[in-house]
Amino acid sequence: MTTLAPSSFLRSSRSRNVIPGFGITMGFSLLYITFLFLIPVGGLLLFTMTQSWDQFWRAISHPQVVASYRLSFGASLIGATINLVFGLLVSWVLVRYQFPFKRLVDALIDLPFALPTAVAGIALVTLYASTGWVGQYFHVYGIRIAYTQIGVVIALTYIGLPFVVRTVQPVLEDLESELEEASAALGASRLTTIRRVILPALMPALLTGYALAFARALGEYGSVVFISGNLPYLTEITPLLIVAKAEQYDYQGAAAIGTVMLLAAFVMLLVINGLQWWSTRRFSH
Amino acid sequence: QTVNLLNVSYDPTRELYREYNEWFAQQWRDEHGQSVNIRQSHGGSGSQARSVIDGLDADVVTLALAYDVDALRQRADLIPADWQERLPGNSSPYTSTIVLLVRAGNPKNIQDWDDLVRDDVQVITPNPKTSGGARWNYLAAWGYALEEYGSEEAAFEFVEKVFANVPVLDPAARGATNTFVQRGIGDVFISWENEAFLAVEQLGRGQFEIVVPSVSILAEPPVTVVDANVDRKGTRAVAEAYLEGLYTDDAQRLAGKHFYRPSNPDIAAEFSDQFPDVNFFGIDDVFGGWDKAQNDHFNDGGHFDTILENIARNR
Amino acid sequence: MSELNTSAQATPVQLNRAAEWQRATEEPEWVRRSLIGIALAFLSAFLILPLLVVLVGAFEQGLGVWYAAVTEPDARSAIRLTLLVVAIVVPINVVFGVTVAWAVAKFEFHGKPFLISLIDMPFAISPVVVGLIFVILFGSQGWLGNWLSAHDLQIIFAVPGIVVVIAFGTMPFIARELIPLMQEQGKQEEEASLTLGASGLKTFWYVTLPNVKWGLIYGIILCNARAMGEFGAVAIVSGRIRGETNTMPLHIEVLYNEYMFTAAFAVSSILTGLALVTIAIKSTVEWLEQRTGVTA
Amino acid sequence: MSIRVDRINKRFNDFIAVDNVSLDLPEGQLTALLGPSGSGKTTLLRIIAGLEQADSGHIEFHGQDQTHEHVSDRGVGFVFQHYALFKHMTVFENVAYGLTVKPRRERPSKEAIRKKVMNLLELVQLDWTAHRYPAQLSGGQRQRIALARALAVEPKVLLLDEPFGALDAKVRAELRRWLRRLHDEIHVTSVFVTHDQEEALEVSDRVVVMNNGRVEQEGTPEEVYDHPANPFVYRFLGNVNLFHARVHEGTATIGDLSVPVPEHHDSQEQDALAYIRPHEIEVLASNESGDAIHAIVKSILVIGPSVRLELQTEHSKELIQAEMSKHQFRGLGLLQGDEAWLRPMQSKVFLQEDEAPAVSGS
Amino acid sequence: MSIRVDRINKRFNDFIAVDNVSLDLPEGQLTALLGPSGSGKTTLLRIIAGLEQADSGHIEFHGQDQTHEHVSDRGVGFVFQHYALFKHMTVFENVAYGLTVKPRRERPSKEAIRKKVMNLLELVQLDWTAHRYPAQLSGGQRQRIALARALAVEPKVLLLDEPFGALDAKVRAELRRWLRRLHDEIHVTSVFVTHDQEEALEVSDRVVVMNNGRVEQEGTPEEVYDHPANPFVYRFLGNVNLFHARVHEGTATIGDLSVPVPEHHDSQEQDALAYIRPHEIEVLASNESGDAIHAIVKSILVIGPSVRLELQTEHSKELIQAEMSKHQFRGLGLLQGDEAWLRPMQSKVFLQEDEAPAVSGS
Ligand SMILES: Nc1ncnc2c1ncn2[C@@H]1O[C@H](COP(=O)(O)OP(=O)(O)OP(=O)(O)O)[C@@H](O)[C@H]1O
Ligand SMILES: Nc1ncnc2c1ncn2[C@@H]1O[C@H](COP(=O)(O)OP(=O)(O)OP(=O)(O)O)[C@@H](O)[C@H]1O
Ligand SMILES: [Mg+2]
Ligand SMILES: [Mg+2]
Ligand SMILES: O=S(=O)([O-])[O-]
Strand partners, B41: B8, C241
Summarize the confidence of residues E313-323 as an average pLDDT. 86
A16 and E53: CB-CB below 8 Å? yes
Give the CATH number of the domain where residue C233 resides: 1.10.3720.10
Q: What is the DSSP letter of C241?
A: B
Which of B124, B300, B305 to mutate to probe the A interface, most A CBs <10 Å? B300
C254 and C159 in one domain? Answer: yes
Q: Is the pLDDT of residue C20 over 70?
A: no
User: CA of E304 to nearest chain D CA: how many angstroms apart?
Assistant: 6
How would you classify the pairing of strands E189-194 and E30-34? parallel
pLDDT for the residue numbered E38: 85
Per CATH, is E3-235 categorized as 3.90.1150.10?
no
Strand partners, B124: B189
pLDDT for the residue numbered E159: 95
Percent of chain E with pLDDT over 90: 46
* Cβ atoms E265, E249 nearer than 8 A: yes
Q: Is the pLDDT of residue E355 over 60?
A: no
User: CA of A74 to nearest chain C CA: how many angstroms apart?
Assistant: 16
Crossing angle, helix E139-152 and helix E169-186, to 10 degrees?
Answer: 20
List the domain boundaries for chain E: 3-235, 239-360
A203 and D76: CB-CB below 8 Å? no
Does residue B228 sit in helix, strand or coil? helix
What confidence tens digit (pLDDT) does each residue in E92-104 have?
999 999 999 999 9
DSSP E strand boundaries for E117-172: 157-161
Work out the number of other CB atoms within 10 angstroms of the CB of residue B105: 10
DSSP E strand boundaries for D222-338: 241-248, 251-254, 257-260, 270-276, 281-284, 293-303, 306-312, 320-325
Does residue E20 sit in helix, strand or coil? strand
User: CA of B284 to nearest chain C CA: how many angstroms apart?
Assistant: 30
Residue A15 contacts E, CB cutoff 8 Å: yes
How would you classify the pairing of strands D320-325 and D306-312? antiparallel
Segments forming the whole domain that contains residue C40: 1-59
Residue A196 contacts D, CB cutoff 8 Å: yes
* Cβ atoms B150, B224 nearer than 8 A: no
pLDDT for the residue numbered A265: 82
pLDDT for the residue numbered D237: 87
Q: Which chains touch D (3 or more CB pairs under 8 A)?
A: A, C, E
pLDDT for the residue numbered B72: 93
Q: How many domains does chain C have?
A: 2
CA distance A14 to A12: 5
The least confident of A88-92, A193-197, B26-30, D327-331 is D327-331
How far is the centre of ligand 4, averaged over its atoms, from the C-alpha of E46 (Å)? 10
What confidence tens digit (pLDDT) does each residue in D22-44 have?
999 999 999 999 998 889 999 99
What confidence tens digit (pLDDT) does each residue in C227-250 have?
988 888 999 998 889 888 999 999
Q: Tell me, yes or no, if the two domains E3-235 and E239-360 fold the same way.
A: no
Q: Is the pLDDT of residue C7 over 60?
A: no
Summarize the confidence of residues E172-182 as an average pLDDT. 83
CA distance A106 to A94: 7
Is chain E in touch with chain D: ≥3 Cβ pairs within 8 A? yes
Radius of gyration for chain D, computed over Cα atoms and rounded to the nearest angstrom: 25
pTM as predicted: 0.86
DSSP E strand boundaries for chain B: 3-10, 36-43, 60-62, 94-103, 123-124, 188-192, 208-211, 215-219, 223-225, 261-262, 279-281
Counting from 1 in the atom list of ligand 2, the atom nearest the Cα of E41 is 21
C79 and C40 in one domain? Answer: no
CA distance D194 to A113: 49
How far is the centre of ligand 1, averaged over its atoms, from the C-alpha of E131 (Å)? 25
pLDDT for the residue numbered E353: 67
For residue A90, CA distances in Å to A168, A198, C222, D61, E43 come to 10, 15, 20, 40, 46
C289 and C226 in one domain? Answer: yes
What confidence tens digit (pLDDT) does each residue in C115-134 have?
888 888 888 889 999 999 99
Does residue E318 sit in helix, strand or coil? coil
* Cβ atoms E78, E49 nearer than 8 A: yes
Q: Is the pLDDT of residue D356 over 70?
A: no
The least confident of C88-102, C212-226, C277-291 is C277-291
CA distance D150 to D246: 53
Which residues form ligand 5's pocket by a CB distance below 6 Å? B 10-12, 44-45, 64, 126, 131-133, 172-173
Give yes or no for residue E163 CB within 6 A of ligand 2. Answer: no
CA distance B93 to B246: 6
Summarize the confidence of residues C271-276 as an average pLDDT. 80
A242 and C106: CB-CB below 8 Å? no
Summarize the confidence of residues B102-117 as an average pLDDT. 94
The CATH number of E239-360 is 2.40.50.140
Q: Is the pLDDT of residue C279 over 60?
A: yes
C7 and C101 in one domain? Answer: no
Q: Which residues in chain C are contacts of D58 at CB distance < 8 A? A: 8, 12
CA distance C71 to E282: 98
Q: What are phi and psi of D32, to 5 degrees?
A: -100, 130
C90 and C37 in one domain? Answer: no
Residue C240 contacts B, CB cutoff 8 Å: yes
Does residue C145 sit in helix, strand or coil? helix
User: CA of C215 to nearest chain D CA: how many angstroms apart?
Assistant: 28
Segment (H or E) for C249 = helix C248-257
The per-residue pLDDT string of chain A (285 residues; one tens digit each, 9 = 90 and over) reads 333 333 333 333 434 577 888 889 999 999 999 999 999 999 999 999 999 999 999 999 999 999 999 999 999 999 999 999 999 999 999 999 999 888 888 888 888 887 888 889 989 998 998 888 898 899 899 898 989 999 999 999 999 999 899 889 988 988 888 999 999 999 999 999 999 999 998 988 898 889 889 988 998 998 898 898 889 999 999 999 999 888 888 899 999 999 999 888 888 878 877 777 777 777 765
pLDDT for the residue numbered D250: 86
Q: Is the pLDDT of residue D256 over 90?
A: no
pLDDT for the residue numbered C292: 61
Mean pLDDT of chain E: 88
Domains and CATH numbers, chain A: 41-283 (1.10.3720.10)
Q: Which residues in chain C are contacts of D72 at CB distance < 8 A? A: 24
Q: Is the pLDDT of residue C5 over 50?
A: no
* Cβ atoms A80, A213 nearer than 8 A: yes
C137 and C232 in one domain? Answer: yes
Instruction: Place E110 in a pLDDT band, splitting at 50, 70 and 90.
Output: very high
Instruction: Place C142 in a pLDDT band, splitting at 50, 70 and 90.
Output: confident
CA distance C102 to A22: 8
- B165 Cβ neighbours under 8 A, 6+ residues apart: B116, B117, B118, B119, B121, B122, B123
pLDDT for the residue numbered B103: 95
Cα of first residue to Cα of last residue in chain A, in angstroms, is 43
D301 and E277: CB-CB below 8 Å? no
Question: E176-180 — which CB contacts under 8 Å span 24+ positions?
Answer: E176/E202, E176/E203, E177/E202, E178/E144, E179/E147, E179/E203, E180/E30
Q: Which residues in chain C are contacts of B43 at CB distance < 8 A? A: 240
pLDDT for the residue numbered E344: 87
The least confident of A53-67, B4-18, C111-125, E186-200 is C111-125
What confidence tens digit (pLDDT) does each residue in D47-83 have?
999 999 999 999 999 889 998 888 988 999 999 988 8
Q: Which residues in chain E are contacts of C192 at CB distance < 8 A? A: 78, 80, 84-86, 146, 149
- ipTM of the predicted structure? 0.84
CA distance A199 to A211: 17
